[in-house]
Amino acid sequence: MSSKEYEVYYSPLYYFEESNIKKEKLEDHKDYLYIRCPVWNHLFDRTFVLNSPIDFEIHLDPDQKNLMHYKVGDEEFNTIDFFKEKFERDTFENDLFTVYVPDILRDHPVIQFSCLSFYFWTPLDLDYVWFEFAEHPLTSFKNNFTALPGWFNLANHFRNTSLGIKVVDRSKPIIVKKGDPLHRVRFYTEDLNDLPLLIKKDPSEFPDEEMGKRIFMIRKNPELLKSILFEKGIKEKLLND
């Protein structure tokens, strides 16, 4: 089996020094029989994990669903009242969270962590690199949430992405300690034997011009979004338009 490496870049928008997306340590699995399985190893070699750069807690009020209490690090608890004012497009935003208010009232609320946002991109000469944002199994019972998954062709669409969570049990708190795994990331090319080389970059190196071109095209023609996200062979057309 032959394989070649290809580069993928990422840049944390916040907590730059503390935010690293890395492979798990193989040593953590060394005493298990499954480590001999080529199927397990093939996936492991293409899987990366984001461990939390910060401590944080979220407590959803059991009696008043419009209240969310939270703290980051050693700070005191703060409270958000989602009914206190009318938010534009029913969306609350601060430096930490983005919340669509109807979703926070559900049995399994959804919260977007703006503070855990990353740019991802590829070299311009690549035209087919799929990016997968995936759950980490430990969060469902240890931290009381699951990450919202998704995937798209990153080579077509450089962009930022952040952690969205769905709460498992709203009567219990979400408690995350620095170093806890939050989600997984994987990358795929046409040859699934190829190996991704994930490289951390400064935000200043993100190709804003290329991202701007895609955004302009999508705003001009919203129907183009699905083609950019999921189609193959559209890269050359995008670069020449």
The span from the CA of 199 to the CA of 123, in Å, is 11
Each residue of 116-128: pLDDT tens digit?
999 999 998 898 9
**What local confidence, expressed as pLDDT, does residue 232 receive?**
82
% of the chain exceeding 90 in pLDDT: 74
Assess whether pLDDT exceeds 90 at residue 186. yes
For residue 190, the tally of other CB atoms under 10 A from its CB is 10
**What string of DSSP letters covers 8-71?**
EEEEESSSTTT--EEPPPGGGGTTSGGGG-HHHHHHHTTEEEEEPSS-EEEEE-SS-TTEEEEE
**What local confidence, expressed as pLDDT, does residue 224 receive?**
86
**What local confidence, expressed as pLDDT, does residue 237 receive?**
67
Domain positions in the chain are: 5-23+49-240
% of the chain exceeding 70 in pLDDT: 96
* pTM check: above 0.75: yes
Assess whether pLDDT exceeds 70 at residue 240. no
Across the range 131-146, mean pLDDT stands at 96
Nearest CA-CA partner of 182 in 45, 11, 16, 53: 53
Q: Are the C-beta atoms of residues 163 and 53 closer than 8 Å to each other?
A: no
Each residue of 39-89: pLDDT tens digit?
999 999 999 999 999 999 999 988 899 999 999 988 999 999 999 888 889
Per the prediction, the chain carries an average pLDDT of 92
